[in-house]
Structure 1
């Protein structure tokens, strides 16, 4: 079974252990509703050097492919600081056995990178946002990300900006900078 959809996305990556102040902010001071319990999992990414517009990963029995459709530029987001919004097209192919999606020889061939994640999510005005702790190559990172599904451009960029800025009014942490703002393919180029 294959699904596809378009999203607006903004993400910041930060090296080190998640600051308690940021964790407490996300748990208690953020607007919107909590989406389920925090989850831990391991995603496996195909590392493609110098290819910031393509993201391929295995996640919990599915193969997910994302293609960056557009870079929508750097913007200011209230208490968060500044970051760059991107538009992505996502495809997801589910396989309960993982056998037909797995490359021959498993993940030993090619440049596959295992990323351990501990993720919490919230939902506010059509925006899903997350705070995730990452471990890759024995290094700790954390990320704040925002995503909105776009159906034939029903959510415009200004609404996305406004929602993130409203959430940012409650943010308690160091200002996030544009050089920290990127999607997983660009981040993987930094850590691999």
Structure 2
């Protein structure tokens, strides 16, 4: 299984768990690079994600953070790839209700339809970009498993997350869940 990371605003700096995972496992992780990390435009971000998905050659899990989660949700309404097996959606930003995101373009309304693949939404009770209730709402409308990890901020470097070992455990459990049904079918 390969992984495609989709960062949020300002990308993920050197101390962000997405960047650390990419450096630790460069043969498994690839990052979607946006042209403008500071002024997100939904159509541009979705098209950039699609460009990367079109190049996939292996089963892949999307690993998104913040605005990257919304990018995945919008992408899934327009595109599909049988190679995208699932998504880990961490700290989805609430572009509809967060005053901190009033400059993002085209992300509203946030899709409220199930994603065409398995997914997990990981959220914090004190995220400055989305309430825990909104994060749970996203999980429910996207058909995702919801995981509340407590008061962990925006689950990024600024919140004290470096390597985020708990996140690796969550990702491994998710991947094992995705692989298990395949093994049963082949037996």
Which category describes the TM-score, using the shorter chain as reference length?
under 0.3
Relative contact order higher in (CA < 8 Å, ≥ 6 apart): 1
Larger radius of gyration: 1
Structure with greater proportional helix content: 2
TM norm structure 1: 0.24
